[in-house]
Amino acid sequence: MGCNLAQFLGKKVLLADLDPQSNLSSGLGASVRSNQKGLHDIVYTSNDLKSIICETKKDSVDLIPASFLSEQFRELDIHRGPSNNLKLFLNEYCAPFYDICIIDTPPSLGGLTKEAFV
């Protein structure tokens, strides 16, 4: 979907792989390392978006790859309830550079998926 939006509508698209299974990342040819920083790590730590953005082979499509540790980190925070951290991060650091951000979530209603409902 993200690649089609970029190609047919001329939009700059950011794909964020929030699923620790990393199917989106691997589908776009990104190799996910065990120490790979993902969206969750950046939102909750440094906000250094440039350190995790991967260009893809598709024009106007960038990727924030999955992190194997995302779900573990998020489950530690879930007792605090839903937060607006991801929404605030996307508005401040992604919106100025991208027309559309698509978030790929795990196939469950766990903490990461709930966090992505922005």
User: How much is the pLDDT for 99?
Assistant: 92
Consecutive H or E run containing 5? helix 2-9
Q: Residue 80 carries which DSSP code?
A: G
Is the Cβ–Cβ distance between 96 and 47 less than 8 Å? no
Question: Which CATH number is 10's domain given?
Answer: 3.40.50.300
Q: What pTM was estimated for this model as a whole?
A: 0.75
pLDDT tens track for 1-14:
777 777 788 888 89
pLDDT tens track for 72-113:
555 544 444 455 677 777 888 788 999 988 888 888 777 667
pLDDT tens track for 14-66:
988 888 777 888 888 776 655 666 666 666 666 566 777 887 888 888 888 87
* Structural domain count, the chain: 1
Range(s) of the domain holding residue 78 = 2-116
Cα dihedral 113, 40, 23, 62, rounded to 10, equals 120
